[in-house]
Every structure is written in structure tokens, then in C-alpha cells.
């Protein structure tokens, strides 16, 4: 009886030592005498102790960082970059048996493709195209990591930094560009000010000239109106009015110190009556005495 109990206990221990538990989101790789035999899913698994062994592989997503390293651009500028990515195991057999370090191989693959992408770009294009580089990198490594049993879910460039010397040169260039823009804006402002001042002066001269022209026109219109009114009045005047005006004029001339008398051509025939009238006047004066 004691021997039977010992044998039964040994059998139970043997069976229990062959029990393995594969956690959720994991897979187990069963090796028999060091050779892969099968892949088991999550749950309770029994293996033959001593003869078989199980290696557990997690299928969960892992974050990874690719530390800073240097890349040379197309125009021979040195920049430093760092990346973060997320990956997961899609084939536990490939992940464990096809490469001694699948994660390291994946990282080197990503480094190489990123060097290739940025190496075909100028510095300015690379610094301003982080989103485009991310897309190109994701497309480039999409199927290549399958050989390692890994799928990269997300890759992101955290930073692209030029070297210290290039950064100083860029700062100087930026300062020069800002000073140039400020000088251009100042010159444009001064030119605009001169333009506005000149326009204001020209507008003032034009306004003054228009005012003078309007004044001259108004004065000319008034003179024309006066002449028209005078002509209209003269056109309706009688001959007696003109003769009366002539007599007034002769009287004013006679009262002057000159002996010159101005008369019209039509009145020249009446000059002969002046001596006769004078004789009659003198005779009448004597008879009255």
C-alpha cells in the first residue's frame, strides 16, 4: 500500500509538473527535445516534463523608442532625429525563431529607411515635412517587418534638429531675413507716404485751379449777362434817347478847357447854321439896345 501511494504521488507530481498556463493575449511555443512542435493559444496546456518545454510570447502592443542618431540630408547638412513607435507580434514562430533579436532588427530597418528618405531631401524640406516623412516611413516598413513576425502599428518622428553650427547659421539667416523684410516695409511705407503727400498736394493744386476757373467763369458769365442786358435795353431805346445822349456829351465837351468839338458824320451839315445863328443873335442884341 505504501508503495502504491508513493507511485501515485509521483504520478501526480509528474502530471502537475507538465501543466502550463498560457495567459490571455499570449501564445505558447512547444518544443520537443529542443525542436519546435506546435503553437498553443491561451489557456491550460499540458506538456511532457523533461522532454518538452514551452516558450511564452506576448501578443500585446509594445511601445519603443529609437534614440537620437544623425542623418545627412541631400545638401550635406547633418540633422539629429529620434522616433517613437508601437508594434505587436503577429507571428510568434517568426518572432522567436527567425531572428535572434527581432525588435533590434526592426529598429535597424526603420533607421535605414529613415536615412534613405531624409537623404533624398534638402534640409529645409526635411525640417518642414515631418508629417510626410512619417507617412513615407510607415509605407516603406509596412510589409518588411513581417519577416520578423512583427507589425509596426504607429511610427512617429519626435524631432528633427539641425546641428549646432547649422542652427547658428539658420538663426543668422533668419535675423537677416527679418531685417531685410523690415527695411523693405519701411521703404514701402516711406514711398507710400511720399505718394500720398504728392497726391494731396496735386489734389490741392487741382482744387485751387478749379476754384479759380469757376470764379473766372462766374465773372465772365456776369459780364456777358450785363452786356446782353445793355444790348437788349439799347435795342428798345428810341432815337430821341440817343440824341439826348449826344447833346449831353457835346455839353460836357464844351464845358472843358479844349476847343475841340466832336460830332457825328450825320451832324456835319448842321455846322453851317452856326455862323448865321450867331449873326442873328448879335443883330437882335443891338436892336434891343
- 24 Cβ partners below 8 Å, 6+ apart? 42
pLDDT score, position 280: 46
Kindly report the number of other CB atoms within 10 A of residue 56's CB atom. 15
* Cβ 87 vs Cβ 153: under 8 Å: yes
Kindly report the number of other CB atoms within 10 A of residue 139's CB atom. 11
Confidence bin at 28 (pLDDT 50/70/90): very high
Residue 172 region by backbone torsions, left for phi larger than 0, else alpha for psi between -120 and 50, else beta: alpha
Mean pLDDT computed over 116-130: 85
- 55 Cβ partners below 8 Å, 6+ apart? 28, 29, 31, 96
Q: Is the pLDDT of residue 278 over 90?
A: no
- Distance CA(81)–CA(123), nearest Å, equals 13
Kindly report the number of other CB atoms within 10 A of residue 87's CB atom. 22
* Mean pLDDT of all residues belonging to the chain: 78
Q: Taking the domains of the chain in order of start, what are their residue ranges?
A: 14-58, 62-162, 237-288
Which CATH superfamily, name and number, covers 62-162?
Band 7 domain (3.30.479.30)
Amino acid at each position: 500500500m505504501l508503495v502504491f501511494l508513493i507511485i501515485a504521488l509521483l504520478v501526480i507530481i509528474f502530471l502537475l509538473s507538465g501543466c502550463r498556463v498560457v495567459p490571455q493575449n499570449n501564445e505558447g511555443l512547444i518544443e520537443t527535445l529542443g525542436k519546435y512542435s506546435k503553437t498553443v493559444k491561451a489557456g491550460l496546456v499540458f506538456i511532457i516534463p523533461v522532454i518538452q518545454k514551452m516558450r511564452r510570447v506576448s501578443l500585446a502592443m509594445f511601445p519603443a523608442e529609437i534614440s537620437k542618431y544623425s542623418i545627412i540630408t541631400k545638401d550635406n547638412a547633418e540633422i539629429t532625429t529620434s522616433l517613437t513607435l508601437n508594434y505587436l507580434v503577429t507571428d510568434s514562430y517568426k518572432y522567436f525563431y527567425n531572428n535572434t533579436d527581432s525588435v533590434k532588427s526592426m529598429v535597424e530597418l526603420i533607421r535605414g529607411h529613415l536615412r534613405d528618405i531624409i537623404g533624398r531631401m534638402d534640409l529645409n524640406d526635411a525640417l518642414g515635412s515631418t508629417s510626410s516623412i512619417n507617412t513615407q516611413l510607415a509605407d516603406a516598413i509596412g510589409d518588411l517587418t513581417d519577416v520578423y513576425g512583427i507589425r509596426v502599428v504607429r511610427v512617429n518622428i519626435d524631432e528633427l534638429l539641425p546641428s549646432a553650427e547649422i542652427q547658428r547659421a539658420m538663426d543668422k539667416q533668419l535675423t537677416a531675413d527679418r531685417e531685410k523684410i523690415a527695411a523693405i516695409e519701411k521703404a514701402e511705407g516711406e514711398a507710400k507716404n511720399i505718394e500720398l503727400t504728392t497726391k494731396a498736394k496735386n489734389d490741392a493744386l487741382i482744387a485751387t485751379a478749379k476754384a479759380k476757373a469757376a470764379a473766372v467763369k462766374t465773372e465772365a458769365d456776369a459780364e456777358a449777362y450785363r452786356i446782353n442786358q445793355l444790348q437788349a435795353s439799347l435795342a428798345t431805346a428810341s432815337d430821341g434817347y440817343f440824341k439826348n445822349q449826344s447833346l449831353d456829351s457835346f455839353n460836357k465837351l464844351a464845358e472843358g478847357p479844349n476847343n475841340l468839338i466832336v460830332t457825328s458824320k450825320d451832324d456835319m451839315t448842321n455846322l453851317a447854321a452856326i455862323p448865321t445863328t450867331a449873326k442873328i443873335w448879335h443883330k437882335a442884341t443891338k436892336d434891343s439896345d
